[in-house]
Structure 1
């Protein structure tokens, strides 16, 4: 699967005529694109043919659904620090990209979505699908992407691609949609050497530093507080601020807690690391957040889940907010001291200004560690009841015992994200944990695992956690995993219900249940139909044996676990 690094050799000679699809593929390569994820349509074939001609420099990955193509490109971008690229055909293919673009948009992940469109001469036939599959498709993307553009003239193609990558990777990163009409994609493009050698897919492209006066104010607050806490989000991963977060925490001797997206910014075995906070967090991280007399948000939106419905920190608690997006600073905590900056550069400036000064902190961090161990022991290591479904807490404990420092964790949306976020322990820092917290749509997990495995050059085992409801959205992508022999171990928490919704019906709707129960699906048997190794698990010992068997997987596997339908990772105040 690795693409070679030889200089790009255009398959067409100087003076020859190439098509727009050929040139588009060439421009993707020159911007550092390795993979394009998508599903073909007749109107996208010029691009596909261009990719074919550049074999060894770029590869098209055929997915089983356009949504999956977008999700795979999203995860690839998160893992590599390069914009992901996906494609879709006109009409129904384009509309299927809405969910993945929305997730990427809300998670600040740069994607380039290339969609085909009807021929320009048929513009008057667009309305109500008079032209086959036509609709006002670019308008659909306006709320889920940073820029939408149509290539109306081949001469503008190079500038459009350059602008698309620049917009996607600067400021608050996000998706860009490029529409290529059918007649434009097939039209001639006079050969000429491309002079732009910029690796436009890399992000963040530019880094900003904070106002020195704001840094001074932030330092003064930190030095004057007794119980400050760092709350670190996904923006710190995007910035690569691993050393800076750890250095600041160790300098100040203060705790680090993370959002789900920030998990892994520091090794979770560190004396100052207390895991994920918020609705999917552990009780100790949330208690630290509630006791803090100063909260320092870093690369974090300070959104609903992290702040327990905006109730923590309380309004009288000072807040420092470091973020590259000025719209996020002060949105939910108006009194925040702003540090408008890239996370890495912002923390570097703050550490430099701090020097050897330290606050007189009053945290009992050893006490919190002891309480965390007691909580984990009680919840995750209680003896299972023979014949009863396994509790997710015990499942995660068993996974912890088999986890290696190279494993990458991918979670589908809903409760599976919460179980992994609050119970799994990452022994090393890095981008090793991903979950769809932008829009939190079911079905993200399996295709994201494909993107993650390809980003890791298939050298890392990818463990994908999903509930049976979420996995059903994208079970077809097992074929893609099998086709490319990707080392993805799919762990399915199979409880035959939409758990979160059923729990709400129990607690709020007087146990009046409706449309939350499924017939049982044997995913181990389903997997075999795709040619995938599978395991049916009903005990922790069976789970441990399955994980050990898949320690270095050659191709994908499915571990289908009968799990408890009533347990929940949701933290309640």
Structure 2
């Protein structure tokens, strides 16, 4: 039976298990939106206020559900508005399929109205992209896009759809998606044995865990591995939730805004096992001093990450879940590193996270949030001080429940991501920890939250400045606060109410616990404007170019 290209897209999305898409209509995607209208009982479309919000929502949906996120935009400016969200997903290895409209095939390359070479623009920030010029190739292209987005190291794929392709008709044959198998073609017995030998002979092993463990659904295997080798573990920002914050083996984040404990452990260990992490500059800082006393074993599904930033002693290339399972099988006897674990515990007592600045208000507010959030809640963040405070002070117990823009550092990410997470997990609560600078970039998405009555809570850490940039200006630019003061008198509570969203205020003298509890009890969308002192800082911190051991804002415990 022949059907239109637009209907073929719908059938392929249903085949792939897609139940929700995020987007914004326009002329070049009218046939697709007409098909969505006719199939709204099969696929829910969430209309965002801006295409960038749609891409971030698809990203948050993917991170929080483990499924592929889907976003749709029209040609030209609609497509280019997706680019930041696509790049965000690319840097953080998020499976996403972006469907963009374009002008009809005969008009391609003629500078037609709202034409842009979106496949060329996004080539550096996608795993792959397609432009479909024959409707008979459409179904297989969509299927390939979903397969590529998920296999190996996940990431975004773009499919560009000229308008006439969605109008033409073609025979369609249903197909069952092939199982996505773990990538093991580069996994060798030799690399496993070499890694195992290093592990068994280490006296002070340390694990550095990244987002690859979460993407690879390998947290259970990691927990067993840590127990078998009797080692502590630190995480990157993207790895928050891969190891429970309540685990005695957990030492916190590592790197620029990590804990002194994690950074000391990385420097003191004799074997650093890096699992699903990529040696970001925000983790490594001064490369020549990073883990200088250790041999480094890197486990990663992406061979391009091996020896890219830091030279390793040994590497194992393959799906992290498979690799950890194989290593766990081969460790015949549980290893014991009592003295090393005692040293780690002594670091924890000596270097607790302390807060310098005018107050400890961010820690108090997030501590209160931790108490009132129901189990299994999801947290999204914006970027900057709010992001670091959320990573440092909240407990991250479940993989995929903490969503933040790590690699790209995208201001404006959190509200869209919270929308996507709430749509993908309607029975859970979702909180976006935001800063006032970031929220200025995405407060238009309150319209989306209100339209769909999503019970998202936006916790606005309001210090009336671009806090992280101001912190750098304070420390490294002699307090020259060039264009970072946000003293425009915005009443965020009134703004929320203008969108039909509840607004609350936490003043500096207020007890945040009761107000936060009241917000959760509403089971409706709420914006909470929290006053934060202007010069509260994110500590500890590693200055640019310094060793990760050399941290600013660290105090030793008086009880040590």
TM-score over 0.5 for the pair: yes
Using a 3 Å threshold, how does the CA distance of structure 1 residues 261 and 540 change in structure 2: closer, same or farther?
farther
What is residue 443 of structure 1 aligned with on the other side?
412
Q: Select 2:435's aligned residue among 456, 467, 487.
A: 467
Greater than 4 Å deviation, 4+ residue runs: none
Post-superposition CA distance 1:386-441 (Å, at most 9, x none): xx876322222222332332211111112211111111123x33321111112111
Post-superposition CA distance 1:42-78 (Å, at most 9, x none): 1111111212222222111101111111111011111
1:444 Cα shift? 0.1
Q: Select 2:383's aligned residue among 388, 406, 413.
A: 413
Counterpart secondary structure, 1:296: strand
**1:197 lines up with 2:197 in the alignment:** no
What is residue 47 of structure 1 aligned with on the other side?
32
Post-superposition CA distance 1:279-298 (Å, at most 9, x none): 23222222222222211111
Kept in 2: contact 1:300–1:323 (CA 8 A): yes
Kept in 1: contact 2:182–2:322 (CA 8 A): no
Q: Select 1:173's aligned residue among 140, 148, 154.
A: 154
1:151 Cα shift? 1.2
Counterpart secondary structure, 1:68: helix
State the structure with bigger RCO (CA 8 A, min sep 6), 1 or 2: 2
Using a 3 Å threshold, how does the CA distance of structure 1 residues 525 and 54 change in structure 2: closer, same or farther?
same
Using a 3 Å threshold, how does the CA distance of structure 1 residues 569 and 28 change in structure 2: closer, same or farther?
same
Kept in 1: contact 2:300–2:317 (CA 8 A): yes
**1:307 lines up with 2:275 in the alignment:** no
Counterpart secondary structure, 1:251: helix
d(CA) in 2 for partners of 1:311, 1:551: 48
d(CA) in 2 for partners of 1:527, 1:390: 27
d(CA) in 1 for partners of 2:91, 2:466: 24
What is residue 68 of structure 2 aligned with on the other side?
83
What is residue 58 of structure 2 aligned with on the other side?
73
What is residue 349 of structure 2 aligned with on the other side?
370
1:533 Cα shift? 0.9
d(CA) in 2 for partners of 1:205, 1:520: 54
**1:212 lines up with 2:189 in the alignment:** yes
What is residue 399 of structure 2 aligned with on the other side?
430
Counterpart secondary structure, 1:465: strand
Counterpart secondary structure, 1:319: strand
Kept in 1: contact 2:151–2:182 (CA 8 A): yes
Q: How does 1:94-105 map to 2 (within 5 A)?
A: 94-105=79-90
**1:393 lines up with 2:363 in the alignment:** yes
**1:247 lines up with 2:220 in the alignment:** no
d(CA) in 1 for partners of 2:67, 2:380: 18
What is residue 7 of structure 1 aligned with on the other side?
none
Using a 3 Å threshold, how does the CA distance of structure 1 residues 311 and 96 change in structure 2: closer, same or farther?
farther
Kept in 1: contact 2:508–2:532 (CA 8 A): no
Q: Select 1:141's aligned residue among 107, 110, 122.
A: 122
1:230 Cα shift? 0.9
Kept in 2: contact 1:223–1:360 (CA 8 A): no
**1:491 lines up with 2:454 in the alignment:** no
d(CA) in 2 for partners of 1:22, 1:323: 39
Using a 3 Å threshold, how does the CA distance of structure 1 residues 39 and 336 change in structure 2: closer, same or farther?
farther
**1:113 lines up with 2:94 in the alignment:** no
Kept in 2: contact 1:527–1:558 (CA 8 A): yes
Post-superposition CA distance 1:138-189 (Å, at most 9, x none): 2111111122211111111111112111221122221111111122222223
Kept in 1: contact 2:298–2:312 (CA 8 A): no
Q: Select 2:517's aligned residue among 545, 548, 564.
A: 548
TM-score under structure 1 length normalisation: 0.90
**1:379 lines up with 2:355 in the alignment:** yes
Using a 3 Å threshold, how does the CA distance of structure 1 residues 561 and 389 change in structure 2: closer, same or farther?
farther
1:349 Cα shift? 0.8
What residue ranges of structure 2 are gaps of 5+ in the alignment?
543-549, 551-560
Counterpart secondary structure, 1:305: helix
1:271 Cα shift? 1.2
Size of the aligned set, in residue pairs, is: 538
Task: Give the stretch that moved more between structures: 559-568 or 318-327.
Answer: 559-568
Using a 3 Å threshold, how does the CA distance of structure 1 residues 118 and 95 change in structure 2: closer, same or farther?
same
1:134 Cα shift? 1.7
Counterpart secondary structure, 2:130: strand
